[in-house]
Every structure is written in structure tokens, then in C-alpha cells.
A and B are shown apart, each in its own frame.
Chain A
Amino acid sequence: MIPTWAQIGYLIAAVCFIVALKALSSPKSARTGNLLGAAGAVLAVIITFVAYKPDHLAPILIALAIGTVGGVVGSRRVQMTQMPQLVALFNGVGGGAAALVALMELGELSTDAVVPAIASAFTILVGAISFSGSIVTFAKLQELMTTRPVTFPGLPVLFVASMLGGLVLAGFLVNEPRVWVGVLLCLVGLAVGVMLVLPVGGADVPIVISLLNAFTGLTVAAGGYVLNNTLLLVAGTLVGAAGTLLTKMMADAMGRSVFNILFGAVKGGSTLGGGTASDRPVISGGAEDVAILLGYANKVIIVPGYGLAVAQAQHTLRDLVEELQSRGVKVDYAIHPVAGRMPGHMNVLLAEAQVPYDQLREMDEINGDFKTTDVVLVVGANDVVNPAARNTPSAPIYGMPILNADEAQRVIFLKRSMRPGFAGIENELLYDPRTTLLFGDARDSLTKLLGALKTL
């Protein structure tokens, strides 16, 4: 039995987690909140060692050390642009750990414990889904595989069949907790996870990360039920509930429903887009032409996108903006909610380049300003200014709120090539007569622009 003091310690840790989540919802307290969460977690681990006096202490401590080094090195080394895939990876290993814990506990379950057996089956199945789904998400974001939706004719049938198979296995498991059935269930879960994420298009992947995050939370909660551990139950449920709501909020910000994101491609019809460059004529210009457009404008809006971050050009962009401001040009940054690869990702990237917070303006706030803007400078973004989201019902991004860059007098795109954006669809705005393209790596182009601007 767990001693009372340990129970109380777990309660304190649970409160830490609740307060941490609350604090993470506001910019002022977010960092403190995260530290509080970490403190709660450390407390919980120490209590566990003292209260349960686990055997195999030395190997456990070594495993703990290996995991700590891995986690710290991974999260310190990663570039800010690769943040989404790292979160996906961390989420996946968490789900995997939960599935393994439930699998090991199977041997300990008595045959008449029905509810714990259901919870075990849930943990194994959903933990495995979360693990393999996150790995596929990671591969998509890291561009180890295509970012476009992947489907094949039998996929829906196979998916439904696997889910049913999983439920049958879970039924067997509840009837009699045998480890080999658990292992089979785990394998089915892995397959389901892969099939769940494969048909999701690149631009929607962040929402899937959030959903899988909620899944892992629920898995941990079920694991807490199996182990009769209230801390796991509370922490897992918190993350499950908060993660579900967060997923819905993110989907709303993109004007999509979660159901559509997961099954849109399978239903067919929403995987349009050639994915290749077209050879229709565009107007491209040199750095000097673009510098003149910018330098003599009254009002400029910058639309930064993932391409900016990939080229590590945030600092050069800030220098360019400061130069423009010193010439009396009014400059704002228009931040689309999903600019970058995750909601809020662009804010993080620009904050890293020390762009003042008050120059970053959110979509709803700035969208009315485009009409009175002389020049919109789109740096490494594409889908977030694609009018197809408004005009083309068959486009995969149809219905996503976009920045109204097409309402400005002139639009300048800094692009590497004519390759379509992450969503894999053509952008009509590129072919508009008011649009000028400046081809090249974002950092090179911005450096040239800055030089040209200084000689004006």
C-alpha cells in the first residue's frame, strides 16, 4: 500500500500540473508555469522512489540518466524551425512508454478485474496508435517522406478492419489477460496509427500532433487506473481534456473540422493539386526593382512564412524592416495563426530574432489594413495568402481563413522556386499582374534587398 505522505505528495504534484497548465495560457506567467510543471514531475519521481522502494534500483537509475541525457541533448540541439517534429517525437515516446507499462502489468492482473483489464486494453491500443502515428508525423515534418496525403484504394476498409480487430483482441484481453494477446493488440495499434496519419496532408499535421498528444494523455490516465495511481490518473486526464480542446481550437483557427482533417483525403476529392511547378508566365524582378517598390511605399506589410525560418533569415528581415522604418515607411508583420508549421510557431521564430512584440499583428486585427497598403512583402509563405482558400471549393485548404494580401496595391513574393506550398496547391496570386517575384534563398534575397535599399 502507498503511504499517506506519498499520496499527499502526489496530490501536490497534481496541483503543480494544474497550475502549470493555467499559467501556460498567458504569456506573462508561461515560463514560470512550465518550471512549476517540471518541479511537480521531479517531486513525483522522487516520491515514487522513496514510497515504492523499487527493486533493480541501479538499472532504473541508469535508464533514467540515459533518458535525461537524450531529452536534454535533443531539445537543446534542435533548431526552432524543427520544434514541431520534436514535440511529435516526444509525444510518441510517451505513448510508447504507456503502452509498455500496461503490457507489463498484464501479467499481474487477476482474471476477474474487468475494469482494470478494459483500461489496460485501452492503454495498449491507444498508446501504440499514438506512438506510430507520432513517428509518421515526425517523418512527414522532417520531410523524410512526402508531405502530401497518402492513400491507397483499400485503406478505409483496412483501417476499419484493423479497428474492429483491435476491439475483438481487447475483448479477449478483458476476458482473460494474456500477454501474447496484449502484444498482438499492440501491433494492431501500431498499424492503425500509421493508417490514421498517412492520409493527412502536410499543412494539417500540427493538428494531428495535438490530437495524438491528447490521446497519450488519456492513455496515461488509463494507465493510472490500472496501477491505482491517482497522480497518473489526474495528470493524464488533464492533458487529455486540455489537448482535446486545444486540438479543436487549432482546427478552428484553420477553418477545418478535426474529422475532415483526419478523413478528408480518404473520402476523396480533397487531394487536388499537382505538386509540381507549372510553366505559366510570372513577373519576376531583380533586387533593385523590389527595393524601389519598398523604399518609396508609405505602408508595407510583411507576411513571414516557414521559408523565412528555414533560410534562417529572421535577423536579416528585421534589419530590412528597421532600414525601411528609418526611411519613414510604416511596417507591420502580419502573422497568420498557423504561419510556420504549428499555431504560434512564427511568433516564436520572430521573437527569437528579437522583433518587437507590438509589430507582430494577428490576422483578424490586420486583415482590414491590406486595402490601404502599398506593398505586401511575402517572405517564404504561400498557403496563408492563397486566394484558393476563398474561391476554390475543391482546394484542400478551402475554408481556411487567409491574409488578404491580394487586396494590396502590389505584392512581392520572395521564393526559392515555383514549387507549391506545404499544402501542395497552386497559388493564383503568383500569376497576378500586380505581383512581382524575387527568386532565391530568402536570406540572400533579403541581404541583396537591404543593400539595394541603402543605395537608393
Chain B
Amino acid sequence: MTESIALLTIFVLAAFVGVEVISKVSSTLHTPLMSGANAIHGVILVGAIIVTGQAESTLVVIVGLLAVVLATVNMVGGFVVTDRMLEMFKGPAARKKELHK
């Protein structure tokens, strides 16, 4: 039971952190932020690998491999596409920096 409580504690604290870290964000960055958060939940890949790695029947292995593919697409694609979006912001940001000099 103590383990359940520990997990519950982590859950509640993480929820507060999640709200806190993005509480101030301009609408300009809503799209990249959504996309970046989207990439982070691709970490379900870890779960897919664990479950597939313990699987015994062929059917479960096949389903597991499907989950691995889907999760990888989510994770890798998510980070790459977010980077592509943010690359577009690089120009203006760099220009701003020069102005400040």
C-alpha cells in the first residue's frame, strides 16, 4: 500500500509542476508547445519495450511490436516536427539578439 501512496504522491506533485511550468506562455508558442508536449508522451515507448520484452505468446509479441512502432512514431516524429517549427523562429530571435547588442 505504501508504494501506491508513493505513486499517488508523485502523480499529484507532477500535476502541479505541469501546470506551473507552462503558466506563462504567449499564444505565439501554443502550437510548438502542444507539439513538444505531444512528443514527451511518446515516452510510452518505454512501457511498450518493457511489456514486449516480457511477452511469451507470439500474439502478444506482435501486438507489442505494433505498440513499439506507434510509440516511436509519436516520440521521434514529435520531437523532429517541433524542432522544424522552432527552427522557423530562429531567424527573428537571432535578429532580435543583434538589435540588443
Which residues of A pack against B, CB within 8 Å?
A: 13, 17-18, 20-22, 24-28, 30-31, 33-35, 37-38, 41, 44-45, 48-49, 52-57, 59-60, 63-64, 66-68, 70-72, 74-76, 78, 80, 83-84, 86-87, 90-91, 93-94, 96-98, 100-101, 103-105, 107-108, 115, 209-210, 213, 216-217, 219-221, 223-225, 227-246, 249-250, 253, 337, 342-345, 347-348, 351-352, 354, 356-357, 362
> Quick one: closest B residue to A350, CB to CB?
B88
3 A-B pairs closest in CB distance = A54-B53, A67-B72, A241-B18
Q: Which of B24, B42, B61, B83 has the most CB of A within 10 A?
A: B42
Per-position contact with A for B16-44: 1 when CB-CB < 8 Å, else 0?
11110111111111111111111111111
11 residue pairs from A and B, CB less than 8 Å apart: A17-B40, A22-B22, A24-B82, A48-B50, A90-B39, A97-B44, A100-B70, A216-B38, A228-B7, A239-B18, A242-B21
Contact of A45 (CB < 8 Å), options: B49, B54, B63, B67 = B49
- Taking CB as reference atom, which chain B residue is nearest A222? B11
A28 and B49 form a contact (CB under 8 A): no
Q: Interface on B for A, CB 8 Å cutoff?
A: 3-4, 7, 10-11, 14-19, 21-55, 60-61, 63-93, 95-96
A357 & B96 in contact (Cβ 8 Å cutoff): yes
- For B7, list chain A residues within 8 Å (CB): 225, 228, 230, 233
| Also in contact, A100 and B18, with CB within 8 A (given A48-B46, A75-B84) | no
Is B14 touching A237 in the complex (CB atoms < 8 A)?
yes
A25, A220, A231, A343: which contacts B22 (Cβ < 8 A)? A25
Q: CB distance A44 to B81 under 8 Å?
A: no
A345 adjacent to B31 (CB under 8 Å): yes
A interface: dominant SS: helix
Q: A25-B21, A104-B55, A234-B10 are in contact. Are A87 and B35 (CB under 8 A)?
A: yes
A105 to B87, CA, bound (A): 39
- Contacts beyond the supplied A41-B43, A235-B41, A241-B16: 6 A-B pairs with Cβ under 8 Å: A31-B87, A68-B72, A94-B42, A230-B10, A245-B19, A249-B25
B21, B37, B48, B78: which has the most chain A beta carbons within 10 Å?
Answer: B37
**Alpha-carbon distance A224/B81, docked complex (angstroms):** 25
- CB-based contact A83/B67 at 8 Å: no
CB-based contact A63/B37 at 8 Å: no
Q: How far is the CA of A235 from the CA of B86 in the complex (A)?
A: 22
Contact at B43–A343, with CB atoms within 8 Å? no
What residues of chain A lie closer than 8 Å to B96, measured between beta carbons? Answer: 357
C-alpha spacing A274/B91, complex, angstroms: 42
Partner of A249, one of B30, B81, B83: B30
Task: Check A241/B27 contact, CB under 8 A, given A72-B77, A246-B33.
Answer: no
